[in-house]
Amino acid sequence: MKLDVIKLDAKKAGSVDLDDAIFGLEPRADILHRVVRWQRNNAQAGTHKVKTRSETSYSTKKIYRQKGTGGARHGSRNAPIFRGGGVYKGPTPRSHGHELTKKFRKLGLKHALSAKATAGELVVIDTVDMKDAKTGALAKQIKELGWKRALIIDGAEVNENFAQAARNIEGLDVLPSMGANVYDILKRDTLVLTKAGVEALEARLK
C-alpha cells in the first residue's frame, strides 16, 4: 500500500510504502473488541468496597428478646436486612484484569491500524521535529490540516519541543511508537504517523 507523505505545513514530501500485512488487513470488530476490553479492564482501579456486617458500627447486643414479641427472631442490627446493616456479597477490592496473549495483542494493533487505513483516516507526515515549542504556531497548523481529534505516533522518542507545544492543544495526543495501542488509535478520528513511527511499528509488529 502506497501513501503520500506530507509535512506539517501540508506540503507534499514524497510517498511511503506501507506493509499490507499490517496496514492492509480486513478489520475485524471482534478482535478489536477483545483487545479494547482487555485494555480497559486492566486500567480499571477495582477499589470499590462496601461494609460487611462485621464492619458496621451498631452494637452487638441482642436487639430484643428471642420469644414473645410477635415478630421475627433477630440477634443483631448489623444484619443485611436492617437499614445501615452490612451488605451481603457486595463488591470488594479486586483486579478486573485478565490475560490476553502477546500474539493476539499484536493482531489487535494490526487490525486497528488497518481499520484507520481502510477508513481513510490514516495520515503519514515526514517529521514532527520543531526548533521552538510554540503552541500557537502548532495549533494553527493543526487547524489548517483539519485535524480535530488526532493521535500522532512518532518513532522511539517524541521530539521534546513538539510534545511540549502539543500538550495544551485540545483533541491532540502524542505518543512514541511503543505507546501505540488499540484503544487510543480507535478513540481518535485521525491517526497520524511519522515516517519514523511507521518504521518503528512495522519493526515491532513483524
Residue pLDDT, tens place only, 110-158: 999 999 999 999 999 998 888 888 899 999 999 999 999 999 999 989 9
CA distance 188 to 148: 9
pLDDT at 162: 92
CA distance 62 to 12: 83
Which residues are CB-contacts of 190 (< 8 A; sequence separation ≥ 6)?
121, 123, 147, 148, 149, 150, 151
CA distance 127 to 6: 9
Residue pLDDT, tens place only, 51-100: 999 999 988 889 999 999 999 999 999 999 999 999 999 999 999 999 99
**Greater confidence, 193 or 13?**
193
CA distance 74 to 62: 7
In what helix (H) or strand (E) does residue 198 lie, and over which residues does it extend?
helix 195-205
- For residues 27 and 111, is the Cβ–Cβ distance under 8 A? yes
Residue pLDDT, tens place only, 164-174: 999 989 999 99
Residue 47 reports pLDDT greater than 90: yes
177: left (phi over 0), alpha (psi -120 to 50) or beta: alpha
Give this prediction's pTM.
0.83
**C-alpha grid cell, residue 2:** 502506497
- For residues 201 and 22, is the Cβ–Cβ distance under 8 A? yes
